[in-house]
Amino acid sequence: MPALPPSRTSRPASARRAPRPEALPLPAADSLAQAFLLGSSAVAAVMAGRSLSEALPRLLQGALPATRAQAQDLAYGALRRYGWGEAVLAPLLQKPLAETQLQGLLLCALYRLESRPDQQHTVVDQAVAAAATLAKGNFRGVINGVLRNYLRQREQLLAEVKENSPAACWYPAWWLEKLKRAYPADWQQIAAAGNAQAPMTLRNNARQGSPEAYLAELSVAGIGARRLGLNGLVLEKPVAVDILPGFFSGRVSVQDWGAQRAAELLGTEAGQRVLDACAAPGGKTAHILEGTEATLLALDADGERSRRVEENLQRLGLSAEVRCADARRTDDWWDGRPFQRILADVPCSASGVVRRHPDSKWLRREGDIAQFARVQRQILEALWPTLAPGGRLLYATCSVFPEENSRQIDAFLGRHADAAALPIDGQPEYQMLPGSDHDGFYYALLEKRP
């Protein structure tokens, strides 16, 4: 699903100008201090308004595998609990810090102290070593003093934060309020799932073998896994794709089980014309083609993301027409021949996959939800005329907010007498709330009456 930039970039309250790099000695490449530097740089980039998925890969280029893994854990962990970290630091700082990376380093160190309480001395020592290379100034003393004061006052500080519901839950206040209104009985469960580490789930390529056969291959490779759904395989713990048997020859793909349901629900049949209207990075496109012989057009409005669709199809040995085009501008890409199946995996807030993108909690603004809803409505209105009578359109988001999901579909059905919602698992719509086995997704299957 393509990312949609918000109308205005939102930054955490403490956002400041990103630090300028200085030509200072760096810690050893395999040290925790180096991981702190990389992780804090990623956090600082998010504080400056960039997405984590954009900033982190560039920062980790050339890092040793172990250091890369530690830095990624630090960045994700610090951003998951960003609001908590800010609330903890506030009484420990005499004045706001001028360096965003220094703030990021403290947030990473706080996360490490909480997740590895047996390493307090090492964490403080290595955070101080990292601070020595940030810029000119006595930042070592700042880091050492703040972290040691935190350890001395930890119980009192955590008790105070516990009284602050948004900070204690690791979410902005507006986000929690939306969850409470939409899911009064489940909002705490949803929030907790969004703060957890996401599982690594694979999609078995049915063209190359059965899920059972691949489970056996994983077992031989010493990788624990279990079946989930038709073609899903959940790993006991995440691994690098390099060690997955047959990954580069297309044997499996990494895809959340909730996302895997899209191809199943769309129900494509052999010989049909299919449109994947917002296709990047191509996981759902590939899944459709793995299951049936169809003529498929994959669209994405971003050229770089469109190339990712092509790369994924190439790895899997699949073929589709891939075009860089805005789904709303049908004159640019539609030849007038109707589609029997359309997948509209529309841009959304990504509130159902926040554990994979923890920065979105802090970069997103409440007003962005209405902007996403407008774009979603425009895409639905543009695509509906391209659907053949009797054809089906699957509307999909990775959101849990009703404005993007049930309310969007209810309004669409009210505007189109020729549209009918088909049941999904016995329900008129399918809202998957995030849980231990999958992220949060929403699906609505619409049929066009003849």
Q: Is residue 21 part of a domain?
A: no
If we measure between CA atoms, which residue out of 220, 131, 201, 232 comes closest to residue 353?
A: 201
Catalytic residues: 398
- Please, which pLDDT band fits residue 32 given cuts at 50, 70 and 90? very high
Q: What is the pLDDT of residue 417?
A: 97
Tens digits of residue pLDDT in 73-93: 999 999 999 999 999 999 999
The encoded tokens of residue 408 equal 């969007």
Whether residue 249 is found in the same domain as residue 297: no
Task: Round the average pLDDT of the chain to a whole number and report it.
Answer: 92
Residue 224 Rama label (left phi>0; alpha psi -120 to 50; beta): beta
Whether residue 249 is found in the same domain as residue 346: no
Q: Which domain holds residue 208?
A: 200-255
* End-of-domain residue from the set 169, 189, 224: 169
Angle between helices 366-383 and 406-415 (to 10 degrees): 40
Looking at residue 274, what DSSP letter applies? E
Q: Is residue 175 part of a domain?
A: no
Whether residue 42 is found in the same domain as residue 148: yes
Per the CB < 8 A criterion, the answer to whether 264 and 230 are in contact is yes
Looking at residue 199, what DSSP letter applies? P
Q: What is the pLDDT of residue 299?
A: 97
What stretch of H or E contains 107?
helix 100-115
Q: Is residue 296 part of a domain?
A: yes
If we measure between CA atoms, which residue out of 84, 8, 6, 72 comes closest to residue 43?
A: 72
Q: What is the pLDDT of residue 137?
A: 57
Q: Is residue 23 part of a domain?
A: no
Tens digits of residue pLDDT in 370-384: 999 999 999 999 999
Q: Is residue 392 part of a domain?
A: yes
Whether residue 268 is found in the same domain as residue 315: yes
Whether residue 332 is found in the same domain as residue 386: yes
Cβ of 155: how many Cβ atoms within 10 Å?
Answer: 8
* End-of-domain residue from the set 234, 255, 276: 255
Whether residue 286 is found in the same domain as residue 432: yes
Tens digits of residue pLDDT in 102-111: 999 999 999 9
* End-of-domain residue from the set 221, 255, 289: 255
Alpha helices (runs of H) in 116-138, residue ranges in sequence order: 120-131
Domain count, the chain: 3
404 contact partners, CB below 8 Å, separation of at least 6 = 348, 349, 369, 372, 373, 376, 397, 442
Whether residue 251 is found in the same domain as residue 347: no
Q: What is the pLDDT of residue 135?
A: 64
Written as one letter, the residue type at 389 is P
Cβ of 209: how many Cβ atoms within 10 Å?
Answer: 15
CATH code at 205? 3.30.70.1170
Q: What is the pLDDT of residue 19?
A: 46
Cα–Cα dist 28/219, whole Å: 36
Residue 404 Rama label (left phi>0; alpha psi -120 to 50; beta): alpha
Cα–Cα dist 50/85, whole Å: 19
Whether residue 229 is found in the same domain as residue 304: no
Looking at residue 77, what DSSP letter applies? H
Cα–Cα dist 433/209, whole Å: 30
Mean pLDDT in residue range 125-153: 89
Whether residue 49 is found in the same domain as residue 131: yes
Q: Where are the beta strands (DSSP E) in 174-263?
A: 201-204, 225-228, 232-235, 252-254
Of residues 328 and 11, the one with the higher pLDDT is 328
Written as one letter, the residue type at 183 is Y
Q: Is residue 345 part of a domain?
A: yes
Cα–Cα dist 380/377, whole Å: 5
If we measure between CA atoms, which residue out of 101, 129, 123 comes closest to residue 40?
A: 101
Cα–Cα dist 426/446, whole Å: 14
CATH code at 407? 3.40.50.150
Whether residue 414 is found in the same domain as residue 397: yes
Written as one letter, the residue type at 377 is R
Write down the pTM of the prediction. 0.90
Q: Is residue 186 part of a domain?
A: no
If we measure between CA atoms, which residue out of 2, 89, 86, 94 comes closest to residue 46?
A: 86
Whether residue 161 is found in the same domain as residue 214: no
Q: Is residue 112 part of a domain?
A: yes
Whether residue 283 is found in the same domain as residue 238: no
